[in-house]
Amino acid sequence: MPHLPTAPPHARVFGRVRSFDAECPACGTVIVARGTREGRPRELKLQVQDGVWVRLVDVPAALAARRFGEGPPVVIELADAFCPWNAGRWRLGPAGAERTTADAELACDVTALGSAYLGGFSFRQLASGGRVEERREGALARADALFRSDRAPWCPEIF
């Protein structure tokens, strides 16, 4: 489990702060603290909430809609127990995505692919958490290059 951040600098003076929100830089989890009265930091109530979340239901359409970075392609074996039409091997590269029968270099389920799809998590981060299996050395780095994003996903609403 990633180390959760401490309160932001403006919230460290608990004697005056009544609430704050912080985001874990490693996993994107939103931490919300509410309800302290002035001078009573032990009353601080912490909650962990999801921020942005995506569930890919139509993987062919989602992959066709996404741009990929430069670099050699990678083959991912995708599992999806709820939407079995998504399962199978996918060759992903700068030219796009297509189904393939080639040997898989990475394996994951659709929830892990959804985490990487928006660019909020790298495949290396997901692998370190046991969510992606690297079957061929170097495949994590290639997948990270293909899915790299200049902007982190952001949602102005907490749902």
List of the chain residues with pLDDT < 70: 1-52, 156-159
Please report the pLDDT score of residue 1 as a whole number. 46
d(CA 14, CA 113): 39
pTM for the predicted model, two decimal places: 0.68
Phi, psi at 77, each rounded to 5° = -90, 120
From residue 55, how far is each of 12, 90, 156 by CA, in Å?
36, 17, 18
Domains of the chain, each with CATH number or no CATH:
9-49 (no CATH), 59-147 (3.30.1050.10)
- Which residue has tokens 């139509």? 58
**What is the model's pLDDT at position 29?**
55
At 118 the pLDDT is 87
CB 153 within 8 A of CB 118: yes
In three-state secondary structure terms, 139 is: helix
Q: What is the pLDDT of residues 10-38, one digit of tens each?
A: 444 444 545 555 555 555 555 555 555 55
Question: Residue 154: its pLDDT value, please?
Answer: 72
Q: What per-residue confidence (pLDDT) applies to 54?
A: 83
> Running DSSP on this structure, what letter comes out for residue 122?
-
User: In this predicted structure, what is the pLDDT of residue 34?
Assistant: 57
Structure tokens at 146: 């293909």
